[in-house]
Amino acid sequence: MSNTASAAGQPARRDLANAIRALSMDAVQAANSGHPGAPMGMADIAEVLWNDYLRHNPTNPAWANRDRFVLSNGHGSMLLYSLLHLTGYKDFPIEQIRNFRQFGYRTAGHPEYEPGGPIETTSGPLGQGLSNAVGMAMAERMLAAEFNRPGHNIVDHKTWVFLGDGCLMEGISHEACSLAGTLKLGKLICLYDDNNISIDGEVGGWFTDDTAKRFEAYGWQVVPNVDGHDAAAIAAAIEEASADPDRPTLICCKTIIGFGSPNKQGTASTHGAPLGDDEIAATRKELGWKSAPFDIPDDIASRWDGKARGASDENIWNVIFANYNAEYPDLANEFRRRMAGKLPSNWSDFADKAIAEINTAGEKVATRKASLIALNAFARALPEMAGGSADLTGSNLTKHNGSVPISGDDAEGNYVWFGVREFGMTAICNGLRLHGGFLPYCGTFLTFSDYARNALRMAALMKIQNVLVYTHDSIGLGEDGPTHQPVEHTASLRLMPNMSVWRPCDTVETAVAWRDAIERQDGPTSLILTRQGLPHQNRSAGQILDIARGAYVLRDSDGVPDIILIATGSEVALAVSAAEALTADGVNARVVSMPSTDVFDTQDAAYRESVLPAAVTARVAIEAGVTETWWRYVGSHGRVVGLDRFGESAPAEELFEHFGFTTENVVAVAKDVLK
């Protein structure tokens, strides 16, 4: 159907698209804040996709085999909210649209993910929605390879992305899209809003890439020069994209930002500001839209309603799944469990046994190796674990005994060679989790977590699980020097809301940290791990249980402690050595291992007091990093043995001695505190 033609008694496609334009410009005007340009420019594209191609069910946003839709250019959020309202999602009634960008409403300035809701990811930081979508498309392909059987395609859906110039300027788009081409993610289809405008104006002064050739070089199919305001041209491009099973597709849609605004369309003035009452009135006249603000005519509302079609699509899939369940009941049950994000029923007993075995072995290894030991143990019970490393597999030790790498030709596996793509890797793993069916983890050197930081922040903000394996955690890296020595990174991660951080001291603490990361489903976890070997610490059964509380008394004094030494990771053994020396000098010294400050901070007051009694004000914290986060534990009478400067290039042993991480110096500091 053309933009203007309509079936008997039915509104034209352009009228349907204009409903998006009207809602978007009116909502932005009511809020006196927002971005009307992208929704108005992409309205025709959205109308074709959502009414003719997108498989979704407004009455069940969490349907497992729905298509995933990602608005990567998230500033155009009113486009998505308009679509959710028009197609019949109950959480997006007209009152949500009227209250765009207001406190307590779902229509935030940028789309925000809620578990079980229709918004697939939080987008706004440009390029990350696109990268999340690559993870979703990977998840679909990997799950299909694992669960589908001849005649039973229970996993078979597409991932659709809307994106703009800004998404493609961001470097993360290169990281993610390059990998997407290599992995042949043919069910990933991106519609590019090529309107030649960003906030600063016409992009010709700063963005002159040959985008089509760029994506062709990635191994993508490119459909160029599509008129983004011609429904037939858009549909033809989508058909072409869908016909290629082996290549992701970029559809380059030529659009006019703020389409319909007679005096502002095609200019940056529509990008991030309300049109104004006079221009909105003129736009209504230009579009032939006669309805009052937030009023959708019944005939247009009826054509948009997607509930019946969505229910039909899901019912068809339900029959497919019922037949699958009859023939492969065990696989069906496993698929349900995986998509629900539930751990196996025997998980707790399995984890207890694995940790006990690791404790009995008592190996003296680097905690990066301890992490692999834990992975080898836990992955046996968790087929949903999928991960990789940013070109540091042999250093991060992220490839466990059950790891099977995926490729463009074979997606049946659970390990990804991410290449040197720290930011893209992390955002892709966020997408794996958002899709469902996987528990993602990814590794790099701790110092390179900076490259990935905004993806870490997005995982924390969305409250989604992602396990970050960060090795080579301090000056213990040694000869690679200060460029690779992450003195400030652990503290920085601890400052991020909803980021759980563990810096374990041996194999047992590392296993407990991994268990916590696996069981924590409402946020990401950073595991901070050493390059150098660390000794096993002897513990009672009760002490092993207390590790999960974030901090515990590892070595106690005979009586009330005179001083408490608090340490993490590689410095725990140093604290134990210093405590032994202090004890020999008649000082009652307690050692507290605190692998996770954030977990400890959530414990009840009585437990925290039992570990760090308020009456004992003589305290020394020891960590080979910046001191900033430790003063709240040692107080005004305490001291921190740390490193408030960058490191040096030298063997690790020399660096630890040079910077005062020695038994002699810790003892001296402790005695000074006791004066």
Q: What does the alpha-carbon distance between residue 6 and residue 441 come to, in Å, rounded to a whole number?
A: 50
Q: What does the alpha-carbon distance between residue 189 and residue 159 come to, in Å, rounded to a whole number?
A: 6
**8 Å CB contact between 93 and 58:** no
Residue 388's DSSP bridge partners are 416, 442
**8 Å CB contact between 430 and 135:** yes
Distances (CA, A) of 8 to 5, 12, 126, 299, 308: 9, 10, 42, 12, 21
Tokens of 233: 């041209």
Q: What does the alpha-carbon distance between residue 374 and residue 147 come to, in Å, rounded to a whole number?
A: 26
Catalytic residue selected from 422, 509, 571, 623: 422
**8 Å CB contact between 73 and 162:** yes
The helix (H) or strand (E) run that includes residue 654 is helix 652-658
* Half-sphere exposure in the Cβ direction for 296 (13 Å, CA): 28
DSSP secondary structure of 102-149: -TTSS--SS----TTSS--S---STTHHHHHHHHHHHHHHHHHHHH-B
- Say which DSSP state 52 is in: I
**8 Å CB contact between 132 and 425:** no
**8 Å CB contact between 487 and 493:** no
- What is the torsion angle, in degrees rounded to the nearest 10, for the CA atoms of residue 665, residue 670, residue 674 and residue 675? 10
Helix, strand, coil fractions of the chain, as percent rounded to 5: 45, 15, 40
- Say which DSSP state 442 is in: E
Cα-Cα end-to-end distance for the chain: 86
Q: What does the alpha-carbon distance between residue 634 and residue 616 come to, in Å, rounded to a whole number?
A: 10
**8 Å CB contact between 178 and 218:** yes
Q: What does the alpha-carbon distance between residue 234 and residue 208 come to, in Å, rounded to a whole number?
A: 24
The amino acid that residue 349 corresponds to is: D
Q: Rounded to the nearest 5°, which phi and psi values hold at 246?
A: -110, -5
Q: What does the alpha-carbon distance between residue 397 and residue 394 come to, in Å, rounded to a whole number?
A: 5
Tokens of 124: 């706004």
Q: What does the alpha-carbon distance between residue 232 and residue 527 come to, in Å, rounded to a whole number?
A: 51
Find, among 76, 101, 297, the residue nearest to 165 by Cα. 76
The position carrying tokens 């019922």 is 322
Tokens of 101: 């960008």
Q: Rounded to the nearest 5°, which phi and psi values hold at 595?
A: -65, -25
* 675 Cβ contact partners less than 8 Å away, ≥ 6 residues apart: none
Q: Is 422 a catalytic residue?
A: yes
Tokens of 535: 């000794």
The position carrying tokens 């308009």 is 82
**Active-site residue list:** 422
